[in-house]
């Protein structure tokens, strides 16, 4: 019995108690999904439910009384070995070995689809993240969303959603001109303008631009600066793409802000807003009345001099995304942009949408990097910036992605580079990957011994006897595997993939403990036994679950390390 089946069964228990009048309760007051969780304290059983606590008030009972009424129904179930009331009114449930062990077969059979669902089938998400200026390398500040944004998209897809990863290129405006002027100055051996870009990458770019097109230096101004700007833009954007590919984050759409203007999307967006009646003129400028929807001030779309603001692009871009058919637009912003949350939601409202349904703005806090006990400062305009590529070079893609994903994004994060490079349990990615590689090794060895085939899909389920998996650690490991789909679901709903990473760490611990206490393969000349085979099934199910989880994080699951 899976926890999902148990949850559904509990629902029917409540209904049964209502139908015979033991519980006086409106059916609508029964929670739609009854929570079934692993108790923190494993002595409490395999699963626990708080359903009695949840319905007691509506039923006019205290929680323990409600639990007393439900208990006989719970006990009278195939596969449930025991159940008892504990604490304020929890019902703790212990499954029979056979019932619990069925899950192992389910996982091996489900293979790559274990933990997936179609709960979001037919729903379409636009995930916009990073969206850096193409005026420099991606740095540490971008890296958190590069990892987490991609993981959220993977998790949405695992639940059947259509999720597009979109990078908005801020290729319009004065910062591009400063970028062009900076590379031109570097190429001509002139001092870089005070308000330009001073990173060490500028002279490198300048050299490459001139190498590609030696005549560029002979152009007249202002054509020369423009030519530098465009050449630098092209090179820098290509570099950002290259590094993100390296990082295993692949964008489906690279959307240029310029193209938004060239395609007429801005006009379309303005027409939409005008139609909704939230645009007005004041002081020669055109405004959007975002204060109608919780913004703290109205925003200018067109300046008095006729120039469009950045905000104008933002609004048009939102309208354009919705016109492209996305049900939900998710924005992943850095903490320095948290002031945008209300205005973006107001944009959606001004466009006639319901912000709670069509737009989600997630804010990620800063990442700090420590090395040798000191903070490594990063500044886009200074020479010593830590780039995403530096991070990859330093610790590798897997460790970098995993370390950025395993923490919720709403707290500032401090990473210690010295620890990240260590291949110890201090670095949880290796702990999880090691468990995977270790299992792969056991199954390889089993195949070498002729105990079983290396292809788990060809194993005969009839050889698996769950009642043999009687050790506590085996039961705990199975419970952790059973809980995995629920964890993925919560990661999807809350947009918090770190939950998966944390659960994989628990599974890895569960496996190492099992491995330490329960010998899998026969020793010496001993023959393989039914227990050997049953434990190999458990190994295979564990390997599959870890593999699936790591895939959702974009981290590799090595067979060997």
Partner RNA sequence: GCGCUCGUAGCUCAACGGAUAGAGCAUUUGACUACGGAUCAAAAGGUUAGGGGUUCGAAUCCCUUCGAGCGCGCCA
Spatial separation of the C-alpha atoms in residues 325 and 335, rounded to whole Å: 28
- Cβ nearer to RNA, comparing 89 with 149: 89
Catalogue the E-assigned strands of 41-133: 47-49, 80-86, 90-95, 124-128
- Cβ nearer to RNA, comparing 245 with 281: 281
Near RNA in 361-380, by CB under 7 A = 363, 365-366
Q: Considering the complex, what minimum distance in angstroms separates the CB of residue 387 from RNA? A: 20
In this structure, what DSSP letter does residue 84 have?
E
Q: Considering the complex, what minimum distance in angstroms separates the CB of residue 423 from RNA? A: 4
Q: Considering the complex, what minimum distance in angstroms separates the CB of residue 326 from RNA? A: 22
Q: What are phi and psi of 34, to 5 degrees?
A: -85, 125
Spatial separation of the C-alpha atoms in residues 449 and 528, rounded to whole Å: 9
Spatial separation of the C-alpha atoms in residues 33 and 36, rounded to whole Å: 9
Q: Considering the complex, what minimum distance in angstroms separates the CB of residue 220 from RNA? A: 25
Three-class DSSP category at 378:
coil
381 part of the interface to RNA, by CB under 7 A:
no
Residue 518: how many CB atoms within 10 A of its CB? 16
Angle ∠(212,202,309) on CA atoms, nearest 5: 100
Given candidates 2, 30, 46, 63, which one binds RNA under the rule CB under 7 A?
Answer: 63
Near RNA in 342-361, by CB under 7 A = none
Given candidates 113, 119, 411, 453, which one binds RNA under the rule CB under 7 A?
Answer: 411
Spatial separation of the C-alpha atoms in residues 332 and 145, rounded to whole Å: 7
- Cβ nearer to RNA, comparing 37 with 208: 37
311 part of the interface to RNA, by CB under 7 A:
yes
414 DSSP β-pair partners:
368
309 part of the interface to RNA, by CB under 7 A:
yes
Spatial separation of the C-alpha atoms in residues 298 and 315, rounded to whole Å: 13
Near RNA in 513-532, by CB under 7 A = 513, 515-521, 523
Given candidates 90, 233, 247, 270, which one binds RNA under the rule CB under 7 A?
Answer: 90
- Cβ nearer to RNA, comparing 86 with 226: 86
Given candidates 426, 463, 472, 526, which one binds RNA under the rule CB under 7 A?
Answer: 426
| Candidate segments 12-20, 55-63, 243-251, 260-268, binder of RNA by CB under 7 A | 55-63
Burial (0-12, 13-18, 19+ Cβ within 10 Å), 4 = middle
C-alpha distances in Å from residue 461, one per residue of 1, 111, 145, 260, 547: 16, 14, 42, 57, 21
Q: Considering the complex, what minimum distance in angstroms separates the CB of residue 520 from RNA? A: 3
Q: Considering the complex, what minimum distance in angstroms separates the CB of residue 67 from RNA? A: 10
5 part of the interface to RNA, by CB under 7 A:
no
Q: Considering the complex, what minimum distance in angstroms separates the CB of residue 63 from RNA? A: 5
331 DSSP β-pair partners:
128, 361
Q: Considering the complex, what minimum distance in angstroms separates the CB of residue 466 from RNA? A: 19
Spatial separation of the C-alpha atoms in residues 28 and 506, rounded to whole Å: 36
Site string for RNA, 11-40 (x = CB under 7 A): ------------------------x-x-xx
Near RNA in 175-234, by CB under 7 A = 175
Q: Considering the complex, what minimum distance in angstroms separates the CB of residue 289 from RNA? A: 13
- H/E run at residue 30: none
Judged by CB under 7 A, how many residues of this single chain contact RNA? 96
165 part of the interface to RNA, by CB under 7 A:
no
Sheet holding 359-364, edge to edge: 253-256, 162-169, 124-128, 328-334, 359-364
- Cβ nearer to RNA, comparing 98 with 370: 370
Given candidates 116, 502, 528, 551, which one binds RNA under the rule CB under 7 A?
Answer: 502
- Cβ nearer to RNA, comparing 39 with 352: 39
The candidate with the shortest Cα–Cα distance to 259, out of 357, 168, 176, is 168
Spatial separation of the C-alpha atoms in residues 532 and 504, rounded to whole Å: 24
- Cβ nearer to RNA, comparing 235 with 405: 405
Q: Considering the complex, what minimum distance in angstroms separates the CB of residue 145 from RNA? A: 15
Q: Considering the complex, what minimum distance in angstroms separates the CB of residue 202 from RNA? A: 17
405 near 501, Cβ under 8 Å? yes
> Which DSSP string do the residues of 205-216 spell out, in sequence order?
HHHHHHHH-GGG
- Cβ nearer to RNA, comparing 19 with 411: 411
555 part of the interface to RNA, by CB under 7 A:
no
For the chain, the C-alpha Rg in angstroms (whole number) is 29
Site string for RNA, 441-460 (x = CB under 7 A): xx--x---------------
Q: What is the 3-state secondary structure (H, E, C) of 130-142?
A: CCCCCCCCCEHHH
328 part of the interface to RNA, by CB under 7 A:
no
């Amino acid at each position: 019995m899976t926890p999902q089946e148990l949850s559904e069964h509990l629902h029917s228990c409540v209904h049964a108690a209502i139908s015979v009048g033991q519980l006086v309760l409106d059916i609508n007051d029964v929670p739609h999904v009854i929570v079934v969780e692993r108790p923190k304290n494993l002595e409490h059983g395999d699963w626990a439910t708080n359903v009695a606590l949840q319905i007691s008030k509506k039923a006019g009972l205290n929680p323990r009384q409600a639990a007393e009424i439900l208990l006989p129904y719970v006990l009278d179930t195939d596969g449930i070995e025991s159940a008892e009331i504990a604490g304020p009114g929890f019902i703790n449930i212990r499954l029979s070995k056979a019932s619990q062990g069925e899950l192992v077969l389910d996982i091996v059979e489900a293979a790559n689809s274990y933990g997936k669902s179609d709960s979001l089938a037919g729903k379409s998400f636009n995930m916009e993240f990073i969206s850096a200026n193409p005026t420099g390398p991606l740095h540490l500040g971008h890296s958190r969303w590069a990892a987490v944004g991609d993981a959220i998209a993977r998790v949405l897809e695992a639940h059947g959603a259509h999720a597009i990863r979109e990078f908005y290129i801020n290729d319009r405006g004065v910062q591009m001109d400063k970028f062009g002027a900076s590379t031109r100055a570097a190429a001509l051996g002139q001092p870089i303008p005070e308000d330009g870009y001073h990173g060490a990458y500028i002279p490198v770019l300048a050299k490459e631009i001139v190498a590609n097109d030696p005549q560029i230096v002979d152009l007249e101004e202002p054509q020369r600066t423009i030519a530098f700007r465009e050449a630098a833009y092209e090179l820098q954007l290509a570099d950002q793409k290259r590094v993100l590919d390296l990082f295993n984050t692949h964008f489906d759409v690279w959307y240029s802000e310029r193209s938004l203007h060239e395609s007429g999307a801005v006009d379309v967006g303005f027409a939409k807003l005008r139609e909704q009646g939230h645009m007005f003129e004041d002081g020669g400028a055109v405004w959007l009345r975002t204060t109608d929807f919780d913004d703290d001030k109205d925003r200018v779309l067109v300046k008095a001099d006729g120039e469009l603001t950045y905000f104008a692009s933002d609004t048009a871009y939102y309208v354009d995304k919705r016109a492209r058919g996305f049900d939900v637009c998710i924005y992943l912003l850095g903490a320095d942009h948290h002031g945008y949350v209300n205005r973006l939601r107001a944009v959606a409202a001004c466009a006639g949408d319901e912000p709670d349904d069509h737009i989600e703005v997630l804010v990620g806090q800063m990442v700090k990097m420590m090395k040798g006990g000191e903070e490594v400062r990063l500044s886009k305009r200074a020479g010593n910036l830590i780039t995403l590529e530096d991070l990859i070079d330093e610790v590798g893609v897997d460790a970098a992605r995993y370390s950025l994903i395993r923490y919720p994004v709403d707290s500032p994060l401090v990473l210690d580079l010295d620890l990240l490079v260590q291949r110890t349990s201090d670095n949880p990615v290796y702990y999880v990957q090691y468990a995977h590689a270790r299992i792969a090794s056991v199954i390889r060895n089993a195949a070498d011994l002729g105990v079983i085939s290396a292809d788990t899909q060809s194993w005969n389920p009839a050889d698996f006897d769950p009642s043999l998996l009687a050790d506590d650690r085996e039961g705990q490991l199975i419970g952790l595997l059973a809980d995995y789909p629920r964890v993925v679901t919560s990661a999807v709903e809350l947009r918090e993939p770190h939950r998966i990473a944390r659960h994989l760490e628990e599974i890895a611990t569960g496996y190492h403990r099992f491995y330490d206490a329960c010998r899998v393969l026969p020793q010496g000349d001993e023959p393989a036994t039914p227990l050997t085979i049953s434990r190999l099934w458990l190994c295979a199910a564990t390997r599959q679950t870890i593999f699936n989880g790591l895939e959702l994080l974009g981290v590799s699951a090595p067979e060997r390390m």
